[in-house]
Chains A and B, each alone.
Chain A
């Protein structure tokens, strides 16, 4: 350590005073003090599928920011804990991050109940929370949440892309079946879709199933009996694959078939040739053309030797959003909160913009379709021919 000289002390007190007035932190010791951000990830437990990709993206973002000297000369420090896919754990985690670790904001957890639990803690402690992969908008409908923001396209629009395509292509096919899980996000998506479907002249049958169900044969039977022509499945991944297989086994061939998460995961491995023509919806695809996107994909590939998934993109985007807030408003929690509530922020997911309730209005989904073994973006103004009707199951 340097010896302290009278001149040194005078100099650093002047700069400290100036720093206090201006809000920057140019002194050597203040510059090293990191800006702490907290993150909750489902590393273990039922929702542990994509936490790894989220973690990678956070790390990449932190490295990017710190490589440029941090924000206002202060490096970012990301503290990640495991919420065990358990809301009670999430609550303690929030307190640990806020109180013990001094995080100025929290980048939110994966599932709805945990987001809800941590949002409650955030409201009590008055700490901004960015629900970086929270697609369930109903959390913001249930209660007034001032400090939490949805940073992912809302699940209400899960069926939007598919219905749009149906409007253009359906022709004589008028019977729509919506399969939904009896959980808030899926129910609200179903309600929105049923309304929209009626507007475009389709008749709607909705079939709900119990979360965790593996057997959809009765639902398939009911669709067969009703003569459904268009089928849209708004549930989680495993049930979607089960439903698809059971439809194929029953020999039930709808004119068009959509399951919201078909762009995810192992669809090609699981369904093989049967994936052909299946629609999906995506919050983000690496092929989406935008300069920010291109840079992100290149960085990610260079770092991890892999094309990023939407989980990574969402995490990176959350980082960009909070970065914009801190850049603009410093580390005051209330100021960050106001900034997030009112601003349009560009990120790899698109334009972040929330409504008065805190729900995401800027980010939207695009429709996708499996074509010749590749998941292609077919919505959002992209001019790509659509396979219609769906080829018969093999």
Chain B
């Protein structure tokens, strides 16, 4: 029984971080129908920002989280205005390749600026917590709690705040929303900034439990896409559920079988869901 609980705890940690990375992706797809291939690079941005903060000022990496979020939001706003806004109305492939090109440029820039060296720090929460026979490190627990907090805050914004309601209206029907007086451009700017801010915050957490390189965010992107598609493209709650589910599946499958089989199982699960429900778990059943 303790083993099962331990596996669940492990799965929640992985799922939580995956959730935070995928949240932003689901958000912009839902609102703007933009697939952001450069999402991973914003994760990397957050990771480097936090690393630099800790390495130079020797403060707690937890301070890096809001810093990374703010940095990401600003970067997102700039990118949206300068580049994404130009692609409104273009076919999906064009938008997709625009973000992909962005990701190459960003990767190149990070590699130039920081080289390929690994970077890491030991500052931050240490030690473990044991509860009912389940051991979880404080670092991982922090990551899980922050992910839940940010995820919860995002859902709250989408449900209650005016801008959140505007975004949901936009997601449902763009023209109707515009004719209701919603400022489409400002809403999209907000959505993109929020999305990228979340990605950067996720990057901050990634730096806490992993090593920082120019490619660190890039490696999360594919898994994040799986989450978004499984959850239902554009559904934030769907993405959250899918992330937790995948985290749990991975934890159990890699214990029972092995790591590679766990990934195969995850993909087969995805295909199975898509066969039965092409719109994903909580996606809308339209085009």
- Chain B positions 207 through 220: 1 when the CB is less than 8 Å from some CB of chain A, otherwise 0: 00111011100010
Given the known A-B contacts A208-B259, A266-B211, are A49 and B115 also in contact in the complex, defined by CB atoms under 8 Å?
yes
The answer on a CB contact under 8 Å between A238 and B255 is: no
Tell yes or no: A218 within 8 A of B by CB: yes
Counting CB contacts under 8 A, is B91 at the interface?
A: no
Q: Smallest Cβ distance from A346 to chain B, in angstroms?
A: 30
**B174 contacts A by Cβ under 8 Å:** no
Tally A-B pairs: CB < 8 A.
114
- The A215-271 residues at the B interface (CB cut-off 8 A) are 215, 217-219, 221-222, 225, 237-238, 241-242, 245-246, 248-251, 265-266, 269-271
Annotate B123-145 by CB proximity to A: 1 below 8 A, 0 otherwise: 00011101000011101100000
The residues of B that contact A272 with a CB separation of less than 8 Å are 122
Which chain B residues lie closer than 8 Å to A238 at the CB level?
A: 118, 210-211, 213
Q: Tell me whether B117 is interfacial, beta carbon within 8 Å.
A: yes
Is B111 a contact of A48 with CB atoms below 8 Å? yes
Instruction: Assess whether A212 is interfacial by the CB under 8 Å rule.
Output: yes
Chain B contacts of A314 at CB under 8 A? none
- A210 in the interface (beta carbon within 8 A): yes
CB-defined contacts of B262 to chain A, threshold 8 Å:
218
CB closest residue in chain B, given A264: B118
**Once the chains bind, are B258 and A214 in contact (CB under 8 Å)?**
no
- Closest B residue by C-beta to A265: B118
Q: Once bound together, how far apart are the Cα atoms of A221 and B111, in whole Å? A: 35
CB contact under 8 A between A251 and B260, given known A218-B255, A266-B119: no
Contact A182 B117, beta carbon cutoff 8 Å: no
Q: Is the CB of B126 within 8 A of A217?
A: no
Residues of chain A from 137 to 153 with CB closer than 8 A to chain B in the complex: none
With A and B bound together, what is the CA distance between A173 and B169 in angstroms? 64
B263 at the A interface (CB under 8 A): yes
A68 located at the interface, meaning its Cβ lies under 8 Å from any Cβ of chain B in the complex? no
Q: A221-B7, A241-B210 are in contact. Are A208 and B135 (CB under 8 A)?
A: no
Chain A residues near B130 (CB-CB < 8 A): 251
B204 touches A (CB below 8 Å): no
* A48 cross-chain contacts in B, Cβ below 8 A: 111, 115-116, 214
CB–CB B219/A214 < 8 A? yes
CA distance A5 to B95 in the complex (A): 71
Task: Determine if A47 is an interface residue (Cβ-Cβ < 8 Å).
Answer: yes
Q: With a CB–CB cut-off of 8 A, which chain A residues contact B135?
A: 249-251
B120 touches A (CB below 8 Å):
yes
Q: Which of the residues B121, B140, B259 comes within 8 Å of A213, measured between beta carbons?
A: B259
B275 at interface, CB cutoff 8 A:
no
The one of A46, A49, A222, A251 in contact with B117, judged by C-beta atoms closer than 8 angstroms, is A49
- Quick one: which of A18-50 are within 8 Å of B by CB? 42, 44-50
Counting CB contacts under 8 A, is B152 at the interface?
Answer: no
Q: What are 22 pairs between A and B in contact, CB < 8 Å? A: A46-B215, A47-B116, A48-B115, A48-B214, A50-B116, A51-B116, A208-B259, A215-B10, A215-B254, A221-B6, A221-B7, A222-B255, A242-B211, A245-B209, A249-B136, A249-B137, A250-B128, A266-B120, A269-B121, A269-B122, A270-B121, A272-B122
B residues with CB within 8 A of A: 3, 6-7, 10, 13-14, 108, 111, 115-122, 126-128, 130, 135-137, 139-140, 209-211, 213-215, 219, 250-251, 254-255, 258-260, 262-263
New contact pairs (5) apart from A47-B116, A49-B117, A238-B211, CB-CB < 8 Å: A42-B116, A46-B215, A210-B260, A212-B219, A218-B10
Closest 3 A-B residue pairs measured CB to CB? Answer: A249-B137, A48-B116, A272-B122
Q: Which residues of A contact B (CB under 8 A)?
A: 42, 44-52, 182, 207-210, 212-215, 217-219, 221-222, 225, 237-238, 241-242, 245-246, 248-251, 265-266, 269-274, 394
